[in-house]
């Protein structure tokens, strides 16, 4: 079968690969749509977390051999440690992610653990099915923020992860949501989804700030713009530099937490949410155009917020 393969630093290409083999407890999924994640765009220029050769793709939906329409929770824990036993597989030291530690969804077929399958409602489009994984990240981040109703929420970065934080905060009853991004086009998308304020940088004070970029400057803004006692939830991975004033954390009891992935329950919540929110901002492309789409997104193309590949 023809799959999109990360072959060497900075390169993804279409290649003929063997059909995946299935072990006990696993299922084959015929992939209908698989999203390109921002983490993959910079992951291929700096291999580390992902090692070539690899079929990436951890945001996908499709059909099993017995006809179930499913989205796949790509993350599994070791199942043995205390984190796994307390439902925190996402931060298990032995966690494995489909599309990172094993072949993923940029292929016509992918093999996944059976327990990772989540049934999709019959009416849900494949595009929305592939958006369940990013939505689950928003659900989790909102939970980490304490899901505060009637709050002022700031979102830095109007890419997919910023937008799913916006959608999760809206759904959770936030009072006012401001979204900051340097791209006009992305701010338009955020405005279209109902952000109350869109601007190049956050202004004013917030109870919660999501940093969906992860640069030193956005880390700093996410702390500076918090009210005393507020919480910054970091999801972006662009730089390892913290870059913020640590004394403000002490003197004003501000908090910063990282947010990685989601629980399986939050993934289920995201399945439900996928049928309720506007996901019309995702664009589909055939898998055989995947290499060009990857390259253009890596080079800063911003007319596409979320690209989905359809094998
Ligand atoms: Zn992702
Ligand atoms: Zn574990």
User: Distance, CA 97 to ligand 1 centroid (Å)?
Assistant: 10
Indicate the domain borders of the chain: 2-131+279-310, 135-258
Instruction: Give me the pLDDT at residue 195, please.
Output: 98
Q: H or E element: which one contains 294?
A: helix 290-298
How far apart are the C-alpha atoms of 245 and 194, rounded to whole Å?
Answer: 32
Buried/exposed 169-193: b ≥16 CB within 10 Å, e otherwise: bbbbebebbbbbbebeebbebbeeb
Over range 113-142, report the average pLDDT: 97
CATH entry 3.40.50.720 includes domain 135-258: yes
Least distant ligand from the CA of 99: 1
CATH entry 3.10.290.10 includes domain 2-131+279-310: no
Least distant ligand from the CA of 98: 1
Convert the pLDDT of each residue in 209-218 to its tens digit: 999 999 999 9
The answer, yes or no, to whether residue 226 has pLDDT greater than 90, is: yes
Longest dimension (CA), the chain: 58
User: Distance, CA 76 to ligand 2 centroid (Å)?
Assistant: 8
Instruction: Please give the backbone phi and psi of residue 198, each rounded to the nearest 5 degrees, phi first.
Output: -130, 135
User: Distance, CA 98 to ligand 1 centroid (Å)?
Assistant: 11
- CB count in 10 Å sphere of residue 104: 28
Average pLDDT, the chain: 96
Question: What residues pack around ion ligand 1 (CB closer than 5 A)?
Answer: 37
Confidence of residue 43 (pLDDT cuts 50, 70, 90): confident
Q: Give pTM, 2 decimals.
A: 0.97
Over range 96-114, report the average pLDDT: 97
Over range 115-133, report the average pLDDT: 97
What 3-state class would DSSP assign to 235? coil
Convert the pLDDT of each residue in 28-42 to its tens digit: 999 999 999 999 998
The answer, yes or no, to whether residue 47 has pLDDT greater than 80, is: no
């Amino acid at each position: 079968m023809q799959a999109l393969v990360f072959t060497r630093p900075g390169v993804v290409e279409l290649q003929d690969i063997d059909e995946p083999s299935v072990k006990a407890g696993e299922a084959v999924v015929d992939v209908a749509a698989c999203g390109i994640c921002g983490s993959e765009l910079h992951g291929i220029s700096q291999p580390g977390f992902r090692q070539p050769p690899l079929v990436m793709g951890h945001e996908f939906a499709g059909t099993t051999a017995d006809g179930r329409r499913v989205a796949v929770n790509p993350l599994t824990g070791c199942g043995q440690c205390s984190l796994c036993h307390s439902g925190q597989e996402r931060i298990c030291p032995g966690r494995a992610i489909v599309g990172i530690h094993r072949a993923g969804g940029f292929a016509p077929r992918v093999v996944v653990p059976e327990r990772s399958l989540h049934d999709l409602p019959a009416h849900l489009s494949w595009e929305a099915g592939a958006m369940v994984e990013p939505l689950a990240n928003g659900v989790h981040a909102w939970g980490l923020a304490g899901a505060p109703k009637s709050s002022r929420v700031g979102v830095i970065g109007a890419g997919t992860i910023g937008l799913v934080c916006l959608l999760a905060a809206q759904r959770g009853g936030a009072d006012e949501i401001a979204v900051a991004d340097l791209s006009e086009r992305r701010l338009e998308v955020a405005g279209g989804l109902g952000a109350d304020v869109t601007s190049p940088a956050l202004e004013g004070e917030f109870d919660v700030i999501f940093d969906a970029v992860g640069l030193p400057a956005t880390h700093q803004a996410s702390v500076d713009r918090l009210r005393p006692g507020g919480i910054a939830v970091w999801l972006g991975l662009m730089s390892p530099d913290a870059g913020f004033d640590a004394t403000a954390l002490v003197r004003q009891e501000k908090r910063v937490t990282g947010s990685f992935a989601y629980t399986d329950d939050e993934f289920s919540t995201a399945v439900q949410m996928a049928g309720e929110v506007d996901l019309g901002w995702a664009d589909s492309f055939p898998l055989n155009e995947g290499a060009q789409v990857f390259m253009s997104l890596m080079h800063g193309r911003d007319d596409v917020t979320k690209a989905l590949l359809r094998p």
